[in-house]
Amino acid sequence: MRFGIMLWLLILVIAMPAGASLWEPDPGFLPEDGRRAVPNDASPPERTVPRFTLPSLPEEHEGTIRRVAIREKKVALTFDLCELATITTGYDAAIIDFLRQRQIPATLFLGGKWMRSHRMRAMQLMADPLFEIGNHAWSHGNFGIMNERSMLEQIRWTQAEYERLREEILAQAVDDGRSVTLPESMVLFRLPYGRCSDAALKVLAREGLEVVQWDVAAETSGDNAIPGLGKLVADQVQPGSILLFHANSVPRGSAALLTETVDILIRRGYQFVTVGELLKLGEPRRTREGYFNRPGDNLNLDHQFGPDGTGRR
């Protein structure tokens, strides 16, 4: 009898397609959400050229946005979901579930290869009006050391992958009788490793992408689930701040850090908006250098992830 119940449970679990609904994403952790849980595929994407091209940005938009100068207590939470050419990363369900449960808008910077390896999760995020989606390169190429051809691949392959998933979402919406509107392309870009060069800024502006970094790098490289860390992060926040987190299950304890930080900021009267919304409220503060907390603090990363930053040797 007990065996019979277990068999039924097993059949039920197998019959329920994991993450199958675009409109009601599965909360909680699925086995494929784990870091390195899905097999790696280092091949180029099926579509390498985007169909939509953005108009180039004016010269004064060249640079990296660190924060926006405003008086209102509004800030943008941003999350990177990226992976190298050589490995797959995960999906931090605790973070995304928290944002959805509390209805906190956020901007998610997705790597193109991550979108392909986490196809259903990527489409669920794109289809959720709570989130704004930005381009975070194909396989985390380092824009401080790559040549122009590689930079264009990293940018355009990701734009093209977004378009493919967008088409699939819209087709699914038609089948399900839903009305869904999604931006034709991503207009924001985040530099992997925060690294860039003059040439990279020119290429990105020509491709029509605003480069959005952060003024508050929230996570540490250790365990982020340490009580008190959220206060240290919140103390760095000012009106118009852009906070950097990850939601790809690479840094440890990010969900706990996020919860603590958000609760403190709410108590201090802050509200959360997407980067796109923040940019409508005031003047962005740009720099020409890409870094974590101060210029030059990420140069050591140029030598750790292969000749182009993607992990390939």
* Interacting residues with Zn ion between 246 and 285 (CB under 5 A): none
Closest to Zn ion by CB, 134 or 239: 134
Closest to Zn ion by CB, 282 or 311: 311
| Least distance from Zn ion to the Cβ atom of residue 29, Å | 21
| Least distance from Zn ion to the Cβ atom of residue 177, Å | 37
* Interacting residues with Zn ion between 52 and 81 (CB under 5 A): 80
Pick from 65, 75, 76, 82 the residue near Zn ion by CB under 5 A: 82
Closest to Zn ion by CB, 169 or 212: 212
| Least distance from Zn ion to the Cβ atom of residue 135, Å | 11
Q: How far apart are CA 305 and CA 312, in angstroms?
A: 7
Closest to Zn ion by CB, 137 or 169: 137
Contact at 8 Å (CB) between 140 and 310? yes
Find the residue with minimal CB distance to Zn ion: 82
| Least distance from Zn ion to the Cβ atom of residue 219, Å | 11
Closest to Zn ion by CB, 10 or 299: 299
Closest to Zn ion by CB, 151 or 265: 151
Among 53, 121, 56, 55, smallest CA distance to 83 is for: 121
| Least distance from Zn ion to the Cβ atom of residue 140, Å | 6
| Least distance from Zn ion to the Cβ atom of residue 192, Å | 5
* Full 3-state SS string of 26-64: CCCCCHHHCCCCCCCCCCCCCCCCCCCCCCCCCHHHCCE
33 sits near Zn ion (criterion: CB under 5 A): no
215 sits near Zn ion (criterion: CB under 5 A): no
Q: How far apart are CA 84 and CA 102, in angstroms?
A: 31
State residue 286 phi and psi, 5-degree precision.
-110, 155
140: left (phi over 0), alpha (psi -120 to 50) or beta: left
The token pair at 244 is 């950097």
Show the CA angle centred on residue 222, arms to residues 229 and 136, nearest 5°: 95
- CA 106 → CA 171, 202, 230, 231, distances in Å? 25, 27, 18, 20
Total of residues contacting Zn ion (CB under 5 A): 3
Closest to Zn ion by CB, 141 or 192: 192
| Least distance from Zn ion to the Cβ atom of residue 14, Å | 34
* Interacting residues with Zn ion between 183 and 202 (CB under 5 A): 192
| Least distance from Zn ion to the Cβ atom of residue 58, Å | 27
Q: How far apart are CA 63 and CA 71, in angstroms?
A: 23
β-sheet bridge partners, residue 133: 108
Closest to Zn ion by CB, 26 or 219: 219
State residue 75 phi and psi, 5-degree precision.
-140, 160
Buried b (16+ CB within 10 A) or exposed e, 171-183: ebbeeeeeebebe
Applying CB under 5 A, the residues found at the interface with Zn ion are 80, 82, 192
